[in-house]
Amino acid sequence: MPDRDDGRAATGAAPALEVAGVSVQFGGVAALSNVSLRAEPGVVTGLIGPNGAGKTTLFNVITGLQHPDKGTVQLDGADITRMGTHRRARLGLARTFQRLELFSTLSAADNVRVGLEASGRATASTAVALLGRVGVGDEAASPVSSLPTGSARLVELARALSTDPKVLLLDEPCSGLDERETQALGRLLTSLAAEGRAIVLVEHDTNLVLRVCGMVHVLDFGEVIASGTPDEVRRNPIVQEAYLGHADDRGDGA
C-alpha cells in the first residue's frame, strides 16, 4: 500500500514527538515503565495493546494531564515534560479522548469554534468546514449531547484539528463508527498525515492500524514490547502472544 511505503520512507526524519523513558506509578501498580517512542511528521504511528496496557495514561503524560515519575517528553526538540497542558497545545499538540470530553452543553460547531478562537483562527464557516472534513458537517448545529457516540468522536477530532496541530493524538477514534465510516476515517488520517502532521493512533481495530500506520508500537502492562512497521509487528511472536494472536478469543473490543 502506498501510504505505508510513505511511512517507511519518512522513518528516520526528526521526530515531532519524542517520549523517552517515561514511567508512571499508580500506587503499587506500574502504569507505564520506561516507555519510549517517537512520532514523525507525515506518519501515522500506531499504539496498540490490550485494555489497561497504559495507552491512555501515555496520552495523559504527553498532554500534561499526568506527570510522569520518570522520563521526558519532547515536542519538536523542546522539552515539554514540565509544561502546562494549555501551553503544550499552543506548541501544536492536540488530542481526543477515549471517554468523550466534549463541551457537552455547546453545539458541535461551537465545540470546534472554541478551539478555533483559542488559536486565533475563528470564523463560523471554518468550524462547519472542519466538521465537514471529518464527516459530520450535517451535525454542525446539533447539541453534542444529542449525537451518537461515533459522531461525537468525530466532533472531538474536528475540535482537535481546530488548533492546526503538528502532533495529533487520537484515542480510539473508531469506536462507535460503522465499517464505512471507519474506512473514511482511515482515508482522513492518511491525508492528515500527508499534510505533515505526526499522528499517534490508539485503536483496537487492528485492521485499520495495520492499514494506515507507518510505524506501530505495542504496549502491554505498561511496557513497549514491540516496535516496527506493521508487517514486522504482525509477525512478531511476542505480539501475537500478548495481543494479536488472541484477537479472536478476546473479540473485537478486548
148 C-beta neighbours (distance < 10 Å), count: 10
Considering only 31-39, 137-145, 172-180, 193-201, which stretch makes contact with another protein by CB under 8 A?
137-145
C-alpha cell at 143: 447539541
Q: Considering the complex, what minimum distance in angstroms separates the CB of residue 154 from another protein?
A: 15
The residue (of 11 and 149) whose beta carbon lies closer to another protein is 149
Touching another protein, residues 115-134 (CB under 8 A): 115, 117-119, 122-125, 127-128
Q: By CB under 8 A, is residue 142 in contact with another protein?
A: yes
Q: By CB under 8 A, is residue 160 in contact with another protein?
A: yes
Q: How many residues bind another protein (CB under 8 A)?
A: 51
Q: By CB under 8 A, is residue 146 in contact with another protein?
A: yes
E strands, 60-214, in order: 70-75, 78-79, 93-95, 167-171, 198-202
* CA end-to-end distance (rounded Å), the chain: 27
Q: Does residue 176 contact residue 150 with C-beta atoms inside 8 Å?
A: yes
Q: Considering the complex, what minimum distance in angstroms separates the CB of residue 103 from another protein?
A: 4
Q: Considering the complex, what minimum distance in angstroms separates the CB of residue 139 from another protein?
A: 11
Evaluated on CA atoms 194, 130, 91, 168, the torsion sign reads: negative
Considering only 22-30, 45-53, 154-162, 223-231, which stretch makes contact with another protein by CB under 8 A?
154-162
Q: Does residue 60 contact residue 228 with C-beta atoms inside 8 Å?
A: no
The residue (of 124 and 238) whose beta carbon lies closer to another protein is 124
Q: Does residue 230 contact residue 192 with C-beta atoms inside 8 Å?
A: no
Considering only 4-12, 18-26, 143-151, 199-207, which stretch makes contact with another protein by CB under 8 A?
143-151
Write the DSSP assignment of 16-49 as a string of letters: SEEEEEEEEEETTEEEEEEEEEEE-TT-EEEEE-
Q: Considering the complex, what minimum distance in angstroms separates the CB of residue 211 from another protein?
A: 27
Nearest to 136 by CA among 119, 156, 120, 118: 156
The residue (of 169 and 174) whose beta carbon lies closer to another protein is 169
* Dihedral angle, C-alpha 233, 93, 196, 172, nearest 10 °: 40
Contact letters (x/-) for another protein, 61-100, by CB under 8 A?
Answer: --xxxx-----------------xxxx-xx--xxx-x-xx
Query: Where on the chain is the footprint of another protein (CB under 8 A)?
Result: 60, 63-66, 84-87, 89-90, 93-95, 97, 99-107, 109-111, 113-115, 117-119, 122-125, 127-128, 140-146, 156, 159-160, 162-163
